Every structure is written in C-alpha cells, then in structure tokens.
Structure 1
Amino acid sequence: MSKSLDAFRTISEVSDELDTPAHVLRFWESKFSQVKPVKRAGGRRYYRPTDLDLLAGIKKLLHDDGMTIKGAQKLLREQGVKHVGSLGAAAMLAAQDATKLDTDAVDVLPIDAAPTAEATTPLEVEITNVVTLPDPAPKGPVLSLDLAPKATPSDQTDPRVAAQRSAKAVNVPADPSDKDSKATARLFHLLHKASHAKLAAQAEAIAPLLDRMQNLRDSISLR
C-alpha cells in the first residue's frame, strides 16, 4: 500500500521510490546541506515530501543532465531549493506516467487468436531416399524336422549277419542228445523230404546246420 504524498518516508522507502541505493542517498546528504531529513531516536531518518522532491531533483541534475556535484551545488545556491525540488517533482511525475503507460499497454494487448487450421496442420514430408535391404542370410545350420533314427553302419545289411538272422528264423529242431541214436537218421529224413527249391533258396542259412550235423556225426563216430 503506497503512502500519501504528505507522509514521512524512511530511507529505504525513498530508495525504492527513486530507485537509488541508500548509501548514495547518504552520500548526497553529506554533499548537499539543503537535504535535512528529520532524525529520530536511534539515528533513523525520516524524509519529508520536500526532501523527497529535492533528492529527486539532485538525481536529475547528476544522472539525467550529467552535471557534477559542484555544478549541482552551485545551481542550488543560485536557483534555490524550490527550483531544484520542482525539477525533482516533475521528474517523478513523468516516471509515474511512463510506468502507467507501460501498464496500460500490457493490459490492452490483444489475446492471441486461435491458431488457424493451416498453422495446426502438420507438414507432410516425402521420403525418397528409402533403401531396400536384402533379407539376412540364416545363421547356423538349418534344423530338419525328420526325427526318424538314421541307419548306422552296424545296421546295414551284412551277408553273414543276414545268414545268421535267417538261420534263427528257420524253425530248427533242438539238438538231439548224445543218447539219441536215431537223431542222425531223423535229420537226414527231414532233409530228404524237404523241397530242393527251398533248400537251394536257403542254402546259406542251411550251411551252418550242415556243419553242426557233421560235427554231431563226428562226435558220435568217436564213441
């Protein structure tokens, strides 16, 4: 809340109104004896409205008009306190009017209109430098879904293995015991009755049987 024009002001309030540091105001007070603020208990300064105008006039002479301190002192002696005070009052009034104009200009600024459809439409960018990359080659061996076990060399057809398997498949009677004296006659009888074509077809399978028969005959002859 701003004070009335006739109210006394502290040095900090004068500093704010004149936009001048407090130590500069004390310096001016030491150079211009016409500035006589009221001093209260504790050394506090209270400036009258005329003191405020005089300080504003001194500021105008030194800062705006570019006068030296000696030149401003001479003008004060020649023209008087009222003249310099009137210069200060006019300068403060002009500053207040300028501040008000700036505030009014801010208040009357038009509100930005809503963006047009053209402004909000995103730009369409045509991409022309498209490079088609080849499909990457498969890495590693291709797995086969054929889960059937592969034939090993041991499983391949061997004539001897085939003959042994065929011999096992033939329905061969059990070896007769040594006490059976008619075993040889029965075996030869069975072979004599067998078809010659079948015997020829299974010659490889029968060969081991003949060997066993010969061994059996030899063992019987030795007794």
Structure 2
Amino acid sequence: MAALDEHRQLEPARRKSAAAFRTIAEVAGELDLPAHVLRFWESKFPQIKPLKRRGGRRYYRPEDVTLLRYIRSLLYTEGYTIRGVQKLLREAGGGSPEPLVPPATSNELETAGGGAEGDEPVSSSLSEILAELEAIRALLDGGKP
C-alpha cells in the first residue's frame, strides 16, 4: 500500500482542460465546499443543471462551475441570502433558457472597453459609484470628501 502512495506522489499532477466536464468531487474541491452544499444549491437554483449519468453521477459543465463560483461569491463574500441570489439570478436571466453568465468584473469591462486612457467610461453610473466610494473612503480615513 505504501508503494502505491509513493507512486501517486511521483506522478505528475494531471489537469483537465478548461472545457472538460467535472465531477461533483472535483467541483467541491475547486470551490472549497462540501458536495452536499452543491447538491442543495441545485435544488435552490434551477440555473445549475449538471449532466446526470446512470446511477445519478453528476458532471458539471464549465458554465455550471462558473455559475457556482459566482453563487459562492454572492453568498459568502457579498453577504447575499439564498433568496437574494435567487432574485438576482432571475432578474439577470430574464426568463431565457440560455445559461446565465455572471456579470463581467471591472477588469473584464476595462478589457472589453479598450481600457485605454482617455476612453469614455464604460458607464456613467460606474463613474458615479466610484466617486461615491472615494468620498466614503475619504470619510473613513478622517478626511473630507
């Protein structure tokens, strides 16, 4: 048995391609979540639709993993409740049968918009939000906005 463990340690780590389907154990490990949480989320978020094979084995598509990562972020980092995330996904999905893709991050927006100096901001509302956040930061630092 020890020889088998040594062999596993010597084997180079195998990585799946980005387009490969993943098992529930792989996704749970990648997202640092127990597998039962992923199964629970499937019952709460109809947008998560892993492929199920004979015997009930789940295979998650890359889009499913992206969505799960987004849901995890909303719940654990942003502080949303499950109901709040459900509402957000419903509104963002617009009832379309297409899988929902999480909104772009600010880095992706800069890349999509060119990100060059002198370009118009992606959205005036983003500029307003940034100005408000800077004013809040100044207040927290003890200065005036």
Q: Per the shorter chain, which TM-score range?
A: 0.5 to 0.7
Rg (Cα) greater in structure: 1
Q: SS where residue 46 of structure 1 aligns?
A: strand
**Structure 2 counterpart of 1:51:** 64
Q: Deviations over 1:115-158 (max 9, x none)?
A: xxxxxxxxxxxxxxxxxxxxxxxxxxxxxxxxxxxxxxxxxxxx
1:30 to 32, 35, 43: 43
1:19 shift after superposition = 0.6
Unaligned stretches of 5+ in structure 2? 1-13, 94-99, 109-145
**Structure 1 counterpart of 2:87:** 74
The alignment covers a number of residue pairs equal to 87
- The TM-score normalised by the length of structure 1 is 0.38
Identity %: 62
Q: C-alpha root-mean-square deviation of aligned residues, in Å?
A: 1.5
- The TM-score normalised by the length of structure 2 is 0.57
**Structure 2 counterpart of 1:221:** none
Q: How far apart are the structure 1 equivalents of 2:26 and 2:37?
A: 14
Q: SS where residue 101 of structure 2 aligns?
A: helix
1:21 shift after superposition = 0.5
1:83 to 102, 112, 134: 102
Query: Which portions of structure 1, spanning 4 or more consecutive aligned residues, are displaced by more than 4 angstroms?
Result: none
Q: SS where residue 54 of structure 1 aligns?
A: helix
Larger relative contact order, structure 1 or 2 (CA cutoff 8 Å, min sep 6): 2
1:83 shift after superposition = 2.6
Q: Deviations over 1:20-60 (max 9, x none)?
A: 11000011111001100000011100000000000000000
Give the letter for the 2:102 counterpart. Answer: H
1:82 shift after superposition = 1.3
